[in-house]
A and B are shown apart, each in its own frame.
Chain A
């Protein structure tokens, strides 16, 4: 799960001397919100967002067209004047987990991906990370999610996996939530079947508690905001 596999590699870039009017047009044309700013040799020097441009332009101008009287004045503003210089970057060899944890704390929408020489390799956005997470969850395939309360001791997962495998059911994914109650974990297997009533009874028969779906939570971590 490396950033290089989930990032957008073909990235539209601008130069520091590009006019912000042109940068805005590029964002509109390609439906993007981040433009990495590069110099000779694709060396990253900054990043500019639609929000940066919006803040730099008079509100009236932003809403209207490029023929607005203030257009000439705005065109004089260069990307290099308002970009975030030396932005936080990640490496192609960083993992998706690295990027997820950082994007949560940094509160940005995307990270430029650069190699060791500072050359731009791609961009990884919240959207790319969400897509990767949807893949991990397996929720684009038809299936049924179970919630099982499990005592935190060795070998429990094996019993669950064996019981499900014996029913000839394939796994889309398994999540294990540690932040449940003390000494307990919640296990969420996403099973690629319609037919779960028998396996639910079997797991209950093995002494596991099948969680009431309304009690499910995968997130008992404190929120960061």
Chain B
């Protein structure tokens, strides 16, 4: 930390119980991702500046703001019955997957409360399992409970917020988040991701912009394979910044995936380490301009273990910087 730079109070949701969601052999979404993230933050000397937040199980009533009760029951039963996958072969699971998913949601909601209470300004939630592919009633793409969507619904329901923005910088489109709020004009969903003709899950095309009342409250920027920093700079200035100027969010949730990095082989997008920092700086700046600095970032993807430490450390550094 450079002396003389004013710092914000930043929370860091981290809990070793997130390791207990075991995905089995040859799966990229592994507990080691969190270890890499923790070590990167620790080695950069940032841990001492953070408020470490342990996880706690979520009350199901908040999860059911977003997911069907029958889906939550089905997930719990699948886990209890020892199923090795749920809804899709991508979603490999173990006996602790359901309780771990509850912890991830509960930790995120506790972190939301702390930001609203002013205990911290912003936060990074290093959770597993991730959430943005999870639909109302379907697990997909390594995701079970849609952490970001539940946080947005919680802000609406418990804290009566009128305008929540979700900014999704994972390299894959957050189909679950988009679909959950596509008819809602109080949640703006922005996503920048690899063009769906070249990447999972095949949604998030530039013409998808919301439905009914929510028309104009969804925005997708699609990145062609091989594109990187310059494209992100152009798209974020053109699509995200102008959208936030119109929407004026009271709170920003970030679905942060580190898989757009050039070294991450889950995509063909070539965002650099510096590019990632630039993107996050823009988001924190939007948070300062519109949301009184209230920015909550939640981990989605990012699978390149050698790169995760620096990407996570820079991410947290950006949240800390004033």
Contact = CB atoms under 8 A, between A and B. Distances in A.
Contacts of B201: 142-143, 194
Contacts of B197: 145
Nearest to A138: B202
Contacts of B89: 168-170, 193
A212 B28 CA distance: 22
A85 B137 CA distance: 52
A142 B176 CA distance: 11
A194 B301 CA distance: 11
B238 interface: no
B90 A194 contact: yes
Interface in A135-184: 139-145, 167-170
A193 B141 CA distance: 7
A145 B198 contact: yes
Interface residues of A, number: 23
B175 interface: yes
Given A195-B27, A197-B28, A142 B141 contact: yes
Nearest to B195: A213
B159 to A, nearest CB: 32
B140 interface: yes
A106 interface: no
A194 B200 contact: yes
Contacts of A144: 199-200, 202
Interface in B236-279: 265-266, 268
Contacts of A139: 202
A170 to B, nearest CB: 7
A193 B90 contact: yes
B226 A214 contact: yes
Contacts of B133: 142, 194
Interface string B130-153: 000100000011100000000000
B9 interface: no
A193 B90 CA distance: 6
A10 interface: no
Contact of B268 (A141, A167, A201, A213): A213
B265 A200 contact: yes
A174 to B, nearest CB: 16
Contact of B28 (A142, A195, A214): A195
B224 A214 contact: yes
A142 B198 contact: no
Contacts of B28: 195, 197-198
Contacts of B265: 197, 200-201
Interface string A89-115: 000000000000000000000000000
A142 B225 contact: no
Contact of A194 (B141, B203, B224, B268): B141
Among A168, A194, A201, A213, the one with the most B-chain Cβ atoms within 10 Å of its Cβ is A194
A70 B28 CA distance: 71
Contacts of A167: 26
Given A194-B142, A195-B28, 18 more contacts: A141-B202, A142-B202, A143-B202, A144-B200, A167-B26, A168-B89, A170-B89, A192-B88, A194-B133, A194-B141, A195-B27, A197-B265, A197-B266, A197-B303, A212-B226, A213-B198, A213-B226, A213-B268
Interface of B: 26-28, 88-90, 133, 140-142, 172, 175, 197-203, 224-226, 265-266, 268, 303
17 contacts: A141-B202, A142-B201, A142-B202, A143-B200, A143-B201, A144-B199, A144-B202, A145-B197, A192-B88, A193-B89, A193-B90, A194-B90, A194-B172, A195-B28, A197-B303, A200-B265, A213-B226
